[in-house]
């Protein structure tokens, strides 16, 4: 690395740090305001004794705070990048769909149509594997999977926000490496990643156990959609198998959540879109884990997946080693779930 490249790295790193810290402070200020608004208008998550086992009603609208912080760079970027307009439109659509669901409760079909509309906007912005019919279909399925994965994982204090922050950190470091290696990336998405991380961490201050505010569907849908777009920042259409694998590695935990839920619910004859207490966090809680213990475990596992993805991206790990590490990761993951899983599957 020559002096100029070192200067660019330091300057870019400092800029990202400033963006992260600024958004953290802004979210730290906005979240309590949204909490008061939620209490005033009774926008609350009521315990149901099944999936929702919190002790008392808890306000939603935390996701609105995260969105508002990210809205500033999205609007600024839309004046200079046409793609940012579609990203802004898609993310806003997800926020509106989630907000309506939090207020009125949408049917699964209505919710899916809203998500699909947002995905169409992302695709119009050019975020797809390629321009073929199959590439567009696979891209749409990817977006829908990540959006719903974060919607499903948001069943415990601090869980979705912790996983989102860890995943976004991984994306940002891989993006930064691509930028330094002169790989073409959408420059507005790199600082947006930093702003997103700061916004989520600022929200996490109030969302960690015991949470005083929740993301709601507003936040979980927005987080899933934005991270789905960030995954295409990694040059999926240009870099081959390695870059196709990196988003899967970075988002391994929410992907495992949705796959496990589909398998268990299907085996038990429950429609996959119906609520049931088979989320991995609930299974761990039933095995005696504390909420803080689960968050530490998930953060540690996210650090592992992030490290694997980064080392794979820069060429330090080859595909065979990554596959082996992935297998070890899965063994550890399902080992901690095995007792409860053996009780939930029908004989």
- Residue 107's Cβ-side half-sphere holds a number of Cα atoms within 13 Å equal to 3
Out of 100-104, 105-109, 121-125, 177-181, which region has the weakest mean confidence (pLDDT)? 177-181
pLDDT over 90 (residue 283)? no
Tell me, what's the pLDDT at 140?
95
Tell me, what's the pLDDT at 48?
61
Alpha carbon separation from 239 to 47, 50, 129, 178, 304 (Å, rounded): 46, 44, 11, 11, 23
pLDDT band at 237 (very low <50, low <70, confident <90, very high): very low
Q: What is the rounded CA–CA span in Å between residue 23 and residue 65?
A: 11
Alpha carbon separation from 109 to 38, 58, 171, 229 (Å, rounded): 26, 26, 31, 23
Q: What is the rounded CA–CA span in Å between residue 254 and residue 317?
A: 23
pLDDT over 70 (residue 51)? no
Alpha carbon separation from 22 to 18, 42, 196, 199 (Å, rounded): 6, 30, 11, 9
> Which whole number is the average pLDDT over 314-320?
88
pLDDT digits (tens, 9 = 90+) for 139-163: 999 999 999 999 999 989 999 999 9
Which value, in Å, is the radius of gyration of the alpha carbons in the chain? 19
Contact (Cβ atoms closer than 8 angstroms) between residue 45 and residue 223: no
Alpha helices by DSSP H, listed for the chain, are 3-40, 62-78, 82-104, 108-124, 133-153, 159-180, 189-207, 216-232, 241-250, 252-267, 280-286, 291-313, 319-344
pLDDT over 80 (residue 7)? no
pLDDT digits (tens, 9 = 90+) for 18-27: 999 999 999 9
* 18 φ/ψ angles, rounded to the nearest 5 degrees: -65, -45
Q: pTM to 2 decimals? A: 0.91
Which DSSP letter does residue 189 get? H
> Which whole number is the average pLDDT over 123-128?
90
Tell me, what's the pLDDT at 288?
85
Mean per-residue pLDDT of the chain = 87
Tell me, what's the pLDDT at 345?
47
Out of 2-6, 12-16, 132-136, 301-305, which region has the weakest mean confidence (pLDDT)? 2-6
Tell me, what's the pLDDT at 241?
66
Tell me, what's the pLDDT at 135?
86
pLDDT digits (tens, 9 = 90+) for 256-268: 999 988 888 888 8
Tell me, what's the pLDDT at 139?
92
Tell me, what's the pLDDT at 347?
40
**Domain range list for the chain:** 3-344
Tell me, what's the pLDDT at 79?
87
Tell me, what's the pLDDT at 174?
87
pLDDT digits (tens, 9 = 90+) for 199-209: 999 999 999 99
- For the chain, report the end-to-end CA distance as a whole number of angstroms: 60
């Amino acid at each position: 690395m020559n002096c100029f490249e070192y200067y660019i790295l330091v300057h870019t790193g400092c800029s990202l740090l400033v963006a992260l810290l600024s958004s953290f402070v802004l979210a730290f200020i906005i979240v309590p305001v949204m909490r008061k608004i939620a209490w005033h208008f009774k926008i609350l998550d009521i315990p149901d004794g099944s999936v929702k086992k919190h002790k008392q009603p808890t306000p939603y609208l935390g996701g609105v705070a995260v969105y508002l912080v990210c809205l500033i760079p999205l609007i600024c970027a839309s004046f200079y990048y046409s793609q940012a307009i579609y990203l802004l439109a898609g993310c806003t659509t997800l926020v509106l769909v989630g907000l309506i669901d939090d207020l009125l409760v949408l049917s699964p079909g209505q919710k899916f149509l809203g998500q699909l509309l947002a995905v169409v906007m992302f695709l119009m912005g050019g975020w797809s594997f390629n321009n073929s019919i199959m590439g567009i279909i696979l891209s749409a399925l990817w977006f829908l999977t990540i959006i719903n994965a974060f919607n499903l994982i948001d069943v415990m204090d601090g869980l979705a926000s912790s996983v989102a922050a860890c995943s976004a950190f991984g994306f940002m470091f891989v993006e930064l490496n691509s930028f330094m290696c002169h790989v073409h990336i959408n420059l507005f998405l790199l600082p947006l990643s930093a702003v997103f991380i700061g916004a989520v961490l600022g929200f996490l201050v109030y969302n960690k156990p015991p949470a005083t505010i929740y993301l709601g569907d507003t936040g979980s849908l927005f987080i899933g959609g934005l991270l789905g777009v960030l995954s295409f920042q990694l040059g999926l259409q240009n870099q081959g198998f390695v870059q196709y694998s990196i988003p899967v590695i970075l988002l391994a935990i929410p992907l495992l959540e949705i796959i496990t839920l589909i398998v268990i619910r299907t085996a038990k004859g429950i429609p996959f879109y119906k609520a049931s207490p088979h989320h991995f966090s609930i299974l761990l809680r039933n095995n005696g884990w504390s909420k803080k213990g689960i968050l530490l475990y998930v953060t540690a596992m996210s650090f592992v997946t992030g490290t694997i993805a980064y080392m794979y991206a820069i060429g330090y790990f080859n595909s065979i080693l990554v596959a082996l590490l992935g297998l070890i990761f899965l063994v550890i993951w399902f080992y901690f779930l095995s007792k409860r899983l053996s009780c939930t599957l029908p004989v």
